[in-house]
Structure 1
Amino acid sequence: MKIPRVSTRVRKARADAVRRVNAVMQKSFGTRFEVTVFGSTLYGTDTADSDLDLVILDQKRPKMLSPTDDEELRGPYNLQAVAATLRRAKRRSVPMFINIETVGKAVVPIVKFKDTATRIYCDMNVNDRLGVLNTSLIMRYCILSPLVRPMMFVIKYWARHRGLNEPTGPQPAFNSYTLALMTIAFLQMRGLLPNIQSGHDGEYPDEDNYVWFRKVTRLTGEITHMKCDTFVRPMREFKPARDTPSLRQALVEWFDYWASEHDYSKTAVSVRDGGMIARMHIVTRHSSCPVTGDHLRPQALDEIAWDDGDVQMTRHREVATSNERMAFLRPPMCVHDPFIRLKNLTVAVSKQNVNQFKEGCAQASKLLQEGLPIQLLMSKRLAKCPVNIPTLEPSGGMSL
């Protein structure tokens, strides 16, 4: 199946929008800051009307904000200053950007706006390089298997039209990034993808390949710094452990797994660990004291000596807080962030949404096995129809 590609016209419009935003930011804050794109528009699961995810990179802080970074944060680190700069930007007395809004209480604070020349909506953060790293990781996996991109595309729009791809609101569901990781981890478990982070489980972060994640607790305002191991093995080719199935068969297996095989209460989805792994195993490696469970091990050291050729260095251990451990163990589902030590990407997903997801997966598997065209599985029409609907005609846009 060929997934639809956005047109050259749309790609050019996006590039023009990024250039305009970058020029405005650099004029106001200096050339040490550069605006770039990340997210689905780079790895190809977007559509023509997708928003642009942008980040203002700070060349002086390539590791993001460290615990000792006590310099007063000015310039674009002040979201209100970014918003004010966008509001002032005009071309021939016409505003370049409209619908400008700051979302400062998000996990990653952003500024939302619309580029008037292209009518493209944008979400922009300041120097959160984890989004860039996440995008790069997914793109690497797309190179290693022809299944990754089309599976992510189909699953994303199947979930969206069923109300399962809505990460905000009173009943948060899965975001597109989480669904992408669930797809990659599933293919790893099936021997169809490697683990390109193997040997780097995040317990003792690499001294050369890391960034700082700065978490602010909403209620107390407490700031926690986490050192994230960002090492990824370069790999351009991979020989799978089994014959690569067709897209239809791979989707049937994916939906079957999430409908009835996955142990939601005990198992974490972890691309970093190469597929599926006991939640307790991941928690134990980031605990400062023994953890009750099936994966006990001797007390770990707070730091270890590490030989790197002729150089010996010390790596310090990443130990999680009790709140982090509970947020990893207690929710009805757990999808482990591939870079942040104990971040559960589905911490806000309710038991009700998990059950709806399982029911939807069971239905999707049944329909595909009955011969439903894959493109119809992604349609809005399917979400409103009963289970036995193979008589509906596909509406085009893809070839099988």
Structure 2
Amino acid sequence: MKLSEEIFLFYLKTSQSLEMINRKLGIRDQLFYYIRQIFPMSGLYVIGSSLNGFGTNNADMDLCLMLTSVELDQRTDAIPILRAVKDVLENLNCVTDQCLIETAKVPILRIMFKSEDGGNMQLDMNVNNSVGVRNTHLLYYYSNFDWRFRPLVAIVKEWARRRAINDASRSSFTSYSLVLMLIHYLQYGVEPPILPSLQQCYKSHFDDSIDVRNLRMTDPLENEPNETFWETKNSSSLCDLLLGFLEYYSYRFNYESSAISIRMGRTMSRVEVMACQELPLQWSCIWIEEPFTRMNTAHSVYNTMIFELIKQTFMGSFETLNTSLNLNAFLTEPPLHLLARPTSIGLNDAITQEITESDQPNE
């Protein structure tokens, strides 16, 4: 089908090249050479879309500096560490500017890096935000589980960006939340399912008690004894799956009573979600469970008026695509005007959400 071909060609055109991945890893190694002089027992990890399989050549890079397996207080411990890193990088010719953002919930050091070929890249570094390493590891395996998943993520993220529903600072979704929504649809919204819950099928591989410094993306997924090998019998095209994704969140998903959980591979009720929470539940407009912390990755979606516009965007885009089967028409519809208005959420909060929730933790 033409639309399926167009989706796949869009993915091929925009996906991160091997050259860009190697460039980012080289920058990481270059910075780590200096950082380990003051923190010799540390590790510096690329997180988010740069490494989880959903990156583009235009994306910046997110980094996590791990010093210990013990959780650090981000307000009292992370900032002095980032200041020390800032000082050690201050005089490097390849670092043209640095900004320490201290007011965010997860402080970050924003670094402007200039490589020898003259290319510039923005780097955001946090300290000991281990969930970013874990969900990068998890999403990488999802991205390789079925060949259709990466092209679908690419087109959904581009659509959401153009329709102005991919901006946490404007009470809409982070890229990470959109990816989790798509995983959930492929787990639960199609029949037969295309993706399993990797955390249920491969419990030892994604055990959240594992030190993140021991996570390896080169390790194959192996079934535990008495576990069944997962194999989907769903042969739906990219066209059908994109339409199904839009239809599912337009008409079938119950936002008021159901939560998304890729950890469980299904929806969860409010009662189940509350049972997982140590703090009082803040349901917001939609609940998307972070698969390791079990908090709501969509807490930025709090404005009910804007959320109604988001749902209208899903419905309108579904009707447009279902009628025309035209990718260009689907991508060039203008955003609903209220989504372009800033809300009370601040820039630093938006940055924090990108760091802690990552597609990155990104993007």
User: Which bin holds the TM-score, normalised by the shorter protein?
Assistant: 0.7 to 0.9
Identity %: 23
Gaps of 5+ in 2: 1-7, 213-218, 224-228, 338-363
Distance 1:18 1:199 in 2: 32
Distance 2:25 2:202 in 1: 35
The answer on whether the counterparts of 2:184 and 2:266 sit within 8 Å (CA) in structure 1 is yes
The answer on whether the counterparts of 1:144 and 1:238 sit within 8 Å (CA) in structure 2 is no
Q: Give the 3 Å change call, closer, same or farther, for CA 7–272 of structure 1 in structure 2.
A: closer
The Cα shift of 1:211 comes to 6.7
What's 1:112 paired with? Answer: 110
The answer on whether the counterparts of 1:156 and 1:165 sit within 8 Å (CA) in structure 2 is yes
Q: Deviations along 1:143-186, whole A, 9 cap, x unmatched?
A: 22222211111111111111111112xx3311011111111011
Q: Give the 3 Å change call, closer, same or farther, for CA 326–247 of structure 1 in structure 2.
A: same
Q: Give the 3 Å change call, closer, same or farther, for CA 7–273 of structure 1 in structure 2.
A: closer
What's 2:361 paired with? Answer: none
Runs ≥4 residues deviating over 6 A: 73-76
The Cα shift of 1:187 comes to 0.9
Distance 2:84 2:267 in 1: 43
Aligned with residue 346 of structure 1, among 286, 295, 298: 298
The answer on whether the counterparts of 1:269 and 1:276 sit within 8 Å (CA) in structure 2 is yes
Return 120-129 or 38-47, whichever deviates more.
Answer: 38-47
Q: Deviations along 1:306-346, whole A, 9 cap, x unmatched?
A: xxxxxxxxxxxxxx43xx3322xx311111110113x1111
Structure in which a larger fraction of residues adopt strand: 1
Q: Give the 3 Å change call, closer, same or farther, for CA 127–77 of structure 1 in structure 2.
A: farther
Q: Give the 3 Å change call, closer, same or farther, for CA 8–347 of structure 1 in structure 2.
A: closer
What's 1:277 paired with? Answer: 268
Counterpart code for 1:107: K
Distance 2:132 2:335 in 1: 34
Does residue 151 in structure 1 map to residue 152 in structure 2? yes
Does residue 181 in structure 1 map to residue 180 in structure 2? yes
The answer on whether the counterparts of 2:173 and 2:300 sit within 8 Å (CA) in structure 1 is no
Q: Give the 3 Å change call, closer, same or farther, for CA 161–383 of structure 1 in structure 2.
A: same
The answer on whether the counterparts of 1:260 and 1:358 sit within 8 Å (CA) in structure 2 is no
Gaps of 5+ in 1: 214-231, 287-319, 387-400
The answer on whether the counterparts of 2:64 and 2:125 sit within 8 Å (CA) in structure 1 is yes
What's 2:312 paired with? Answer: 359
Q: Deviations along 1:242-273, whole A, 9 cap, x unmatched?
A: 42211111111110111121111111011111
Structure-to-structure mapping, 1:37-76, within 5 angstroms: 37-58=46-67, 61-62=68-69, 64-65=70-71
The Cα shift of 1:76 comes to 7.8
Q: Deviations along 1:191-225, whole A, 9 cap, x unmatched?
A: 22111222899xxx99x742799xxxxxxxxxxxx
The Cα shift of 1:375 comes to 5.8
Distance 1:156 1:165 in 2: 7
What's 2:27 paired with? Answer: 17
What's 1:239 paired with? Answer: 231
Q: Deviations along 1:67-110, whole A, 9 cap, x unmatched?
A: xx9xxx879862222222222x32xxx3x213311222323221
The Cα shift of 1:46 comes to 2.2
Counterpart code for 1:98: T
The answer on whether the counterparts of 1:188 and 1:195 sit within 8 Å (CA) in structure 2 is yes
Q: Give the 3 Å change call, closer, same or farther, for CA 131–385 of structure 1 in structure 2.
A: closer
The answer on whether the counterparts of 1:151 and 1:251 sit within 8 Å (CA) in structure 2 is yes
What's 1:195 paired with? Answer: 197
Q: Give the 3 Å change call, closer, same or farther, for CA 13–334 of structure 1 in structure 2.
A: same
Counterpart code for 2:86: A
- Please say which structure displays the higher CA radius of gyration: 1
Give 3-state SS (helix, strand or coil) of 1:131's partner.
Answer: helix
Structure-to-structure mapping, 1:243-262, within 5 angstroms: 243-262=234-253
Tell me the C-alpha RMSD between the 2 structures. Answer: 3.2
Distance 1:235 1:351 in 2: 43
Q: Give the 3 Å change call, closer, same or farther, for CA 184–283 of structure 1 in structure 2.
A: same
Counterpart code for 1:19: D
The answer on whether the counterparts of 1:65 and 1:212 sit within 8 Å (CA) in structure 2 is no
Distance 1:104 1:385 in 2: 34
The answer on whether the counterparts of 1:269 and 1:335 sit within 8 Å (CA) in structure 2 is yes
Q: Give the 3 Å change call, closer, same or farther, for CA 267–74 of structure 1 in structure 2.
A: closer
Q: Give the 3 Å change call, closer, same or farther, for CA 193–9 of structure 1 in structure 2.
A: closer
Structure-to-structure mapping, 1:250-399, within 5 angstroms: 250-284=241-275, 286=276, 320-321=277-278, 324-327=279-282, 330-341=283-294, 343-349=295-301, 350-374=303-327, 377-378=330-331, 381-383=332-334
Q: Give the 3 Å change call, closer, same or farther, for CA 139–8 of structure 1 in structure 2.
A: closer
Counterpart code for 2:56: T
Structure in which a larger fraction of residues adopt helix: 2
Distance 1:178 1:362 in 2: 19
The answer on whether the counterparts of 2:257 and 2:269 sit within 8 Å (CA) in structure 1 is yes
- Higher relative contact order at CA 8 Å, sep ≥6: structure 1 or structure 2? 2
Distance 2:196 2:220 in 1: 10
